Structure 1
Amino acid sequence: MAEFRFITIWRIEAPLSQVSDAIFSCHEWPLWWKNVEKVDEINPGDPDGIGGLWRFTWKGQLPYRLTFDICVVRAEPLKLLEGLASGELEGVGCWHFYYEAPATIVRYEWHVRTTRGWMNLLAPVAKPLFAWNHNQVMRQGAEGLALRLNTRLLGLTHC
């Protein structure tokens, strides 16, 4: 399996609560994040969302789609949201939130492995393309969220 580690940082000129709420409301992502084709709730989890299971279908700039499930393992409103991925990607994703005037800072850490045979076969040469595709998806997410909140995206960093 090919392994990927990404860190993306968004700086959005909006209150922490609005940004955090938008990320926690993943069922609404297709309304503002054009790369998210579909989100299905499989299991709502407990009252805090822990154990919630969501199926995502994504389409980036490259001509393929990825479908995988995310099970919420940690949820602290205004602070973090963490989930375990399974399916065509396996691993962990964690959103961190904090406010640093005049922006809410969103730090997304994504550590995954591919399970699709063709991706694993091509990974030795295509890894830079897969990384570029991920970065484009994250850029479009940041831009979509800023538009959704009627505000400005002040910065975007890929580490």
Structure 2
Amino acid sequence: MASFEFTTTWHFEAPVLAVFDALTDSLHWPEWWPGLVSVEQREAGDEGGIGRVQRFVWKSHLGYYLWFDIRITRVCEPCLIEGVADGDVSGIGRWRLCEESGGTRVDYLWQVRTERPWMSLLARVARPLVVWNHHAMMRAGAVGLSRYLRRLPTPGGQFVE
């Protein structure tokens, strides 16, 4: 099976708690993240989100579909969300958030290996395309989340846009 380690950094002109809330509300990601077809709740987890399991279905820029379940294993509000993936890929995903320059910096780590033979073959033959696809989907997510965050009301009840 093929292994991948991706790191992504996003910057938002939004409070860290607003970004954290958007990232923990993954059932609504399809509203702002292009390529994310659906998110389905499988298990609720505890009041802090630990143990929550959700199924994610993505449609890549290359045309193939990818599904995996994420089980949340660690949450430290508002700076960390970590989960374990199982499905077409398996491994870990970790969101780290911190205040930076009046906004929020988000660092994402995605360490996975493919679990399907066709994916391993694709990774061997077209690894640069798989890497390009991941980065393109993450860029689309950053743009979508930025737009979503601008539509949220400020503490005084006013909208930024």
| TM-score greater than 0.5 by the shorter chain | yes
1:111: which partner in 2? 111
Shift of 1:60: 2.0
Which residue is equivalent to 2:93?
93
Separation (CA, whole Å) in 1 of partners of 2:66 and 2:59 = 7
Find the counterpart in structure 2 of residue 134 from structure 1.
134
Q: For structure 1, list consecutive stretches of 5 or more residues without a partner in the other structure.
A: 152-159
CA RMSD of aligned residues (A): 1.0
Deviation at 1:123, TM superposition (A): 1.6
Q: Distance in 2 between matches of 1:13 and 1:46?
A: 30
Q: Which runs of at least 4 in structure 1 moved beyond 3 Å after TM superposition? A: none
Give the drift of 1:117: 1.0
One-letter amino acid of the counterpart of residue 63, structure 2: P
Match of 1:76 in 2: 76
Aligned to 2:157: none
Residue of structure 2 equivalent to 1:150: 150
Q: Give the aligned partner of residue 48 of structure 1.
A: 48
The structure in which a higher percent of residues are strand is 1
* Structure with bigger gyration radius: 2
Counterpart-to-counterpart distance in 2, 1:77 and 1:120: 36
- Secondary structure of 1:46's counterpart equals coil
Q: CA deviation at 1:150?
A: 1.3
Identical aligned pairs, as a percentage? 46
Per-residue deviation at 1:34? 1.4
Q: How much does 1:103 deviate? A: 2.1
What SS class does the counterpart of residue 50 from structure 2 fall into? coil
Q: Is the CA contact (8 Å cut-off) linking 1:91 and 1:111 kept in structure 2?
A: yes
Residue aligned with 2:46, SS: coil
Deviation at 1:35, TM superposition (A): 1.4
